[in-house]
Structure 1
């Protein structure tokens, strides 16, 4: 072969190698400035030499809160399809809602729940083998209950008190005044209270009269009694401190059929005299499951807290009926997802006092 043909052949090989390298991996934007040629003399490859292989690109880019781009949109679409992310459409921003959805996805699929969508998380999410999100009603069973169960339930055990409770550190309660939501959490594998247990729609005090801060639940319980202030009645009083309690909505008499309509319609707004009003099933859950000494945080809340706002948005309860239901309280079905028999009795019940 002539020298001229050898030069052309080598040049063709170089061009082919450059083209092949440019096709490997993800395409990148062209650099704003081309790299400058090296000052050192060009070295000729030995015949038969093999070029070092390029590193294999990672199939998934790690995504965390604050990330932006099309990969975030794809992530959100997959989370929405499986029910983990409750929003109308995907965006390209990884905010607090997306992080919360990723945490839930990881927890329900046996992954480390750190809120970071790394390779393992994304691989499972896009695999077609991931579990669908558990229904919201598991954490907020009241959303599927009838008005009668939410307001008129009374099993008649008005002299019954809890036999005991789980340890005080089992749960942590957060009352968010901005969103009128009470949330209960238990500990994760790191000992932090991040695992949701129950979400409840509530009414805190009007004119900002519910005390805020971090409290240890006190030890006075009242099953069904009259309020001294306005002579109305309530069920399942669990003392937070002093005269501040979790309890049900109000009744005119010692009879759940005399529920006060206006009080029910204002559930989810600041309407109490300082206590925290709940539905009957939610107040009953606290009565039997929350031990004295359990931490209870009452906070102002933040209107920009997308995660708590999303919880509140889904806490939609039965509407007030046009006529009062004609049913005996003890005949109302119990559709809640727990039973008194399943509650641990790690510490005994000891009645305290309001003082």
Structure 2
């Protein structure tokens, strides 16, 4: 399964976010309500034995299909949170295909986006799993401005003890949509399982290098940039002087965040590095081993899957006045902690060159 096919799963996860906050349980339709199955007429009494009537096979539904069966399918997907629409239609388009693939993936079926008999039986069974909320993959969407921008746990001299193996994750940076996505491997060894989605800022004037890279060794916890004397946290080296890191600060103090830099997060605004929120940069710093594959791509305006991810990456607004809070008192609401991270690869600092 390639990443393009996996995008169907990703897209439907984006679409299901709102419903995941209060997903309705699917109820099993009665035979008279379900257009996807019909039953043979009851035979007239006979002196000779006749077989019991059996349902005809489910109608296989795929992209391009149209009719009442499609509408019923969409209604069931909407109830479980895999498809968000104002109302069901009778046309099986790309959104329905994506929603079906997401349903299949999350319910341990082959995620081909085709609603065959096995998929429909489970969908209408009342026992299928509901859609995962988007916040599972993008926890920053529920965080406060203070946590996103000002967090500083004070461990400025502490470095990771080690990392998960380099093949644990694959990173994709999409410049068109200003999104960084991390995937882990599926059962076939392909990187299709979403782990974390992040709003980012790449380089202005197309100055972020594009291609496939293996993450380098150098890490910086909190330091000054030589170019403009600003500061940043959690630098994780991609190659040379190109890093993932936080937004910028005027001083060695997160309360001095640069407002313009925060406001431009999600646009091409850096000098070549990839800026992230503090929690996302911290996740990279602790979880991404040297040697991890990082793909930086131009991206495609017509890429529905990545566009859907970006659409859902809505972060907290900047307050009118700077918060008066000790950065070390800002609680973490992220869905992981450094204690959770495997140390399969020991930390080795290396150098920037």
TM range (shorter): 0.7 to 0.9
How far 1:309 moved relative to its partner? 1.1
In 2, Cα distance between equivalents of 1:216 and 1:98: 36
Counterpart selection for 2:258 from 243, 255, 260: 260
In 2, Cα distance between equivalents of 1:160 and 1:89: 52
Instruction: Give ranges in structure 1 of 5+ residues lacking alignment.
Output: 1-23, 27-47
Once the two structures are superposed, what CA deviation does each residue of 1:283-323 show, in whole Å capped at 9, x if it has no partner? 00010001111111111111111111111111110000010
How far 1:231 moved relative to its partner? 0.8
Q: Secondary structure at the match of 2:208?
A: coil
Counterpart selection for 2:215 from 214, 217, 221: 217
Q: Which residue in 1 is equivalent to 2:83? A: 85
Q: What is the Cα-based RMSD across aligned positions, in Å?
A: 2.4
* Contact 1:211 1:274 (C-alpha < 8 Å) held by counterparts: yes
Counterpart selection for 1:293 from 291, 294, 310: 291
Q: Secondary structure at the match of 1:116?
A: coil
Q: Which has the higher contact order (CA 8 A, sep 6+)?
A: 2
How far 1:111 moved relative to its partner? 2.5
How far 1:206 moved relative to its partner? 1.0
Once the two structures are superposed, what CA deviation does each residue of 1:206-258 show, in whole Å capped at 9, x if it has no partner? 11111111111111111111111111110000111111111000000010000
In 1, Cα distance between equivalents of 2:207 and 2:85: 33
In 2, Cα distance between equivalents of 1:198 and 1:109: 20
Counterpart selection for 1:152 from 141, 150, 153: 150
- After the TM superposition, which of the residue ranges 305-314 and 85-94 deviates more from structure 2? 85-94
- After the TM superposition, which of the residue ranges 272-281 and 100-109 deviates more from structure 2? 100-109
- TM-aligned CA distance change 1:83 to 1:57, over 3 Å: same
Q: Report the TM-score when normalising by structure 2.
A: 0.82
In 2, Cα distance between equivalents of 1:65 and 1:219: 45
In 2, Cα distance between equivalents of 1:209 and 1:96: 34
Q: Which residue in 2 is equivalent to 1:189? A: 187
Counterpart selection for 2:302 from 301, 304, 312: 304
Q: Which residue in 1 is equivalent to 2:318? A: 320
Q: Secondary structure at the match of 1:170?
A: coil
Once the two structures are superposed, what CA deviation does each residue of 1:92-139 show, in whole Å capped at 9, x if it has no partner? 444444333223222322333333322111112122222221211111
- TM-aligned CA distance change 1:302 to 1:74, over 3 Å: farther
- TM-aligned CA distance change 1:171 to 1:93, over 3 Å: farther
- TM-aligned CA distance change 1:89 to 1:304, over 3 Å: farther
In 2, Cα distance between equivalents of 1:313 and 1:103: 20
* Contact 1:96 1:307 (C-alpha < 8 Å) held by counterparts: no
Count of residues in correspondence between the two structures:
311
1:64-79 to structure 2, matched below 5 A, reads 64-79=62-77
Once the two structures are superposed, what CA deviation does each residue of 1:114-165 show, in whole Å capped at 9, x if it has no partner? 3332211111212222222121111100000000000000000011111111
In 2, Cα distance between equivalents of 1:90 and 1:307: 21
How far 1:276 moved relative to its partner? 0.7
How far 1:203 moved relative to its partner? 0.7
Counterpart selection for 1:171 from 151, 169, 172: 169
In 2, Cα distance between equivalents of 1:91 and 1:230: 54
Q: Report the TM-score when normalising by structure 1.
A: 0.81
1:112 lines up with 2:139 in the alignment: no
Instruction: Give ranges in structure 2 of 5+ residues lacking alignment.
Output: 1-36, 40-46
Q: Which residue in 1 is equivalent to 2:336? A: 338
